[in-house]
Amino acid sequence: GESVGLHLPTLSVQEGDNSIINCAYSNSASDYFIWYKQESGKGPQFIIDIRSNMDKRQGQRVTVLLNKTVKHLSLQIAATQPGDSAVYFCAEETSGSRLTFGEGTQLTVNP
């Protein structure tokens, strides 16, 4: 099943289920958004990005949805695997090409 809702610090899912991680961004002028995956003790790893002229973009097992009306971004992971366990951050690009990060969601995949 899916877990949806407002931004949560933790999300636990069963292996094989779909995951949805949500993020609210702050700057209505932001035009570029990125989702990162961060494993413990490592730097953020790029997952997928989307520009503000789009509302959906798909990658391999991942989909990003952008709702500019309510300034909301979500990351959907299909068929979640144990290797997907990590902290996931959304980031928005604001003026001067600087990234502002959300607080992150810890995803735990149970076998």
Partner 1 sequence: DGGITQSPKYLFRKEGQNVTLSCEQNLNHDAMYWYRQDPGQGLRLIYYSQIVNDFQKGDIAEGYSVSREKKESFPLTVTSAQKNPTAFYLCASSAWQGYTFGSGTRLTVV
Binding site for partner 1 (CB under 8 A): 9, 34, 36, 41-46, 49, 89, 96-104
Nearer to partner 1, 44 or 109 (CB): 44
Element (H or E) spanning 44, and its range?
Answer: none
φ, ψ (nearest 5 deg) of residue 69? -60, -40
Tokens of 7: 């931004």
CB of 33 to partner 1, least distance (A): 12
CB of 16 to partner 1, least distance (A): 27
Q: How far apart are CA 88 and CA 109, in angstroms?
A: 13
Nearer to partner 1, 60 or 69 (CB): 60
